[in-house]
Amino acid sequence: MTMVILLRIKADKLPIFLFGDSTMDVGTNNFLPGCKARADISFYGIGSRGSRPTGRFSNGYNTADALARLMGHKRSPRPFLSLITQMSNFKRNVLTGVNFASGGSGIMDTTGKKFGRVIPFGEQVEQYATVRNNITELMGTSRGKTMLSNSLFVISVGSNDIFDYFESSQSRSPEFLVNLGNQYEAHLKNLARLGARRFGIISIPPIGCVPIQRLRGNGSGGCMQDINDYAEAFLAVVKGVLPKLKSEHQGVQFSLGNAYLATMSIINITFPFKEVQKACCGNGTLNTESACSPTARVCRNREDYLFWDQFHPTQAAAKLAAAALFAGSPPLVAPLNFSSVARIYV
C-alpha cells in the first residue's frame, strides 16, 4: 500500500530545511577536514546516478532526498557547507531549502567527538540562523518571515546520543534521557524563535536492531533490547516536548513520525524486505564485521535488504520511510502527516 502512495503523490515545491544525523546527511561531512564519519567512498552511492559516492550513508539516495522529491523538488536541498562555497549566489540558492544534517552528530554538542569534526544539532540551528538572515535580507523581513513560516523543518536526530551513552557508560540513569530531552527542546525552541512553524519530526528507530548491534549482542543475532528501550523511551520524551512547543509559539504545527514502530513492524513481519538482519555491504557475520568499503562484499539484490551497512537503511527502505512520513496515518505518523503539516494535499 505504501508503494501505491508513492505513485499517487503530486506536490508543489515548498522550501524544506533538514537537520539531523547520517540518515539525513547529503554530503555535509565531505566538507569537514578530519571528519571520520564519511561516506564518500565506494560502495556508497552505487545505486545513485553515475553510481558514485556522494557522501550519503546509503547505496543511493536517503530519506532527505525522498522527502524532497515528494515535496516537488527535482533535487534534494544541498548541504549548507556546500552552499557557502558559492557566496555570490548563496542568498538565492537557499530559497528552496538547505540541508544541515551531519553524519555522526547528535542532540548534545559532545556526541560524535570520536569521529573528529561533526556538526551537532545546536550548531546546525546556528547555521540556519545565518540562512534566515540572508533570506530576510534578500526578500525583506515580512516576506522572508512568511516564507519561513510556510517551510517544512525536518529533524531526525538522537540515535548517536544513545549509541555514545551506551559506549561510554556502564551504568544507566534516567537523568540521561531528561538531559537529552531538555537539550532537544531548547534546540526546537531556538528554531521556533527563528521563524520555524511547521515541523516534521522523525523519532529514533529501534537502533538496537541495526546489524552492528545484533553482532555485538548475545550471539543469537537478536536485537539489543536495552538500547531499543532507550530509543522507545525518548519517543515518549519527544511526545511531551512537541505540544509544549505548539502552546508556546503561535502557529506551530507538527508531525511526529514513529520510526520505532514502523521499523519494528517491518522487522517482525519481514515485509516488504526479505532480509532485515544482515547488512548489504560489509564482510563476515551478518555482513557487518567490517564497515562498507571498496573491499567489502555487496549483495546483489539491494531492494530486498532493510540495511545497507552496519547502521543505515538502504535506498529502498529510505523511500518507503519517506512515503509513510509524507502521506501516512496514525499511529505511524501523528497527529498529521508531513504533507498535511506542509499543507501539501495528496
Is residue 161 situated within a structural domain? yes
Pairing of strands 16-20, 305-307: unpaired
Percent of the chain with pLDDT over 90: 87
9: confidence class by pLDDT, cuts 50, 70, 90: very low
Is 22 marked active-site?
Answer: yes
Residue 51 lies in a domain: yes
| Lowest mean pLDDT segment, chosen from 83-87, 143-147, 176-180, 238-242 | 83-87
Write out pLDDT tens, residues 281-338: 999 999 999 999 999 999 999 999 999 999 999 999 999 999 999 999 999 999 999 9
Q: Which residue has the cell 531499543?
A: 228
Does residue 2 carry a pLDDT above 50? no
pLDDT digits 0-9 by tens, 122-132: 999 999 999 99
Encode pLDDT of 63-89 as tens digits: 999 999 999 999 999 999 999 998 888
Residue with cell 543469537: 220
Among the options 22, 105, 159, 340, which is catalytic? 22
Q: Are 18 and 200 in contact (CB under 8 A)?
A: no
Find cell 552528530 and name the residue. 105
Question: Between β-strands 305-307 and 275-279, what pairing exists: parallel, antiparallel or unpaired?
Answer: parallel
pLDDT given for residue 346 in this prediction = 45
Tell me, yes or no, whether 294 lies in a domain: no
Bigger pLDDT: 51 or 266?
266
Q: Which grid cell is 108?
A: 548534545
> Do the Cβ atoms of 125 and 187 come closer than 8 Å?
yes
* Half-sphere exposure in the Cβ direction for 328 (13 Å, CA): 24
Between CA 12 and CA 70 the distance in angstroms is 9
* Partner residues linked to 334 by β-bridges: 256
Evaluate whether 75 touches 68 at the Cβ level (below 8 Å): yes
Q: Total domain count for the chain?
A: 1
How is residue 111 written as a grid cell?
556526541
- State phi, psi for 83 to the nearest 5 degrees: -65, -35
Active-site residue 312, yes or no? Answer: yes
- Rounded distance, CA 16 to CA 192, Å? 15
Contact between 26 and 54 (Cβ < 8 Å): yes
Q: How confident is the model at residue 270 (pLDDT cuts 50, 70, 90)?
A: confident
Location of C-alpha cell 531556538: 190
151 noted as active-site residue: no
Measure the CA–CA gap between 234 and 162, rounded to whole angstroms.
10
Q: Is residue 303 part of a domain?
A: no
- 214 domain-assigned: yes
Please give the helix or strand (H or E) that residue 83 lies within, else none: helix 80-83
In a domain, 80, yes or no: yes
Which of 169-183, 223-237, 296-310 is predicted with the least confidence, judged by mean pLDDT? 169-183
Catalytic residue of the set 102, 312, 339, 340: 312
pLDDT higher than 90, residue 221: no
Q: What pLDDT does 47 receive?
A: 87
User: Would you state the pLDDT for residue 33?
Assistant: 95
pLDDT band, very low/low/confident/very high, at 7 (cuts 50, 70, 90) = very low
CATH code of residue 320 = 3.40.50
What's the average model confidence in pLDDT over 195-216?
A: 97
d(CA 206, CA 160): 12
Q: Does position 3 have pLDDT exceeding 50, yes or no? A: no
**Nearest to residue 115, comparing CAs of 123, 107, 105, 125?**
105
Does some domain include residue 180? yes
Q: pLDDT band for position 218 (50/70/90)?
A: low
Q: Where are the strands (E) in the chain, listed by range?
A: 16-20, 97-99, 152-156, 198-202, 253-257, 275-279, 281-282, 297-298, 305-307, 333-334
Catalytic residue among 65, 161, 164, 309, which?
309
Closest listed residue to residue 203, CA positions, set 47, 321, 57: 321
Phi-psi category of residue 200: left, alpha or beta, with phi > 0 → left and psi -120 to 50 → alpha: beta
Q: Which domain holds residue 32?
A: 2-268+315-341
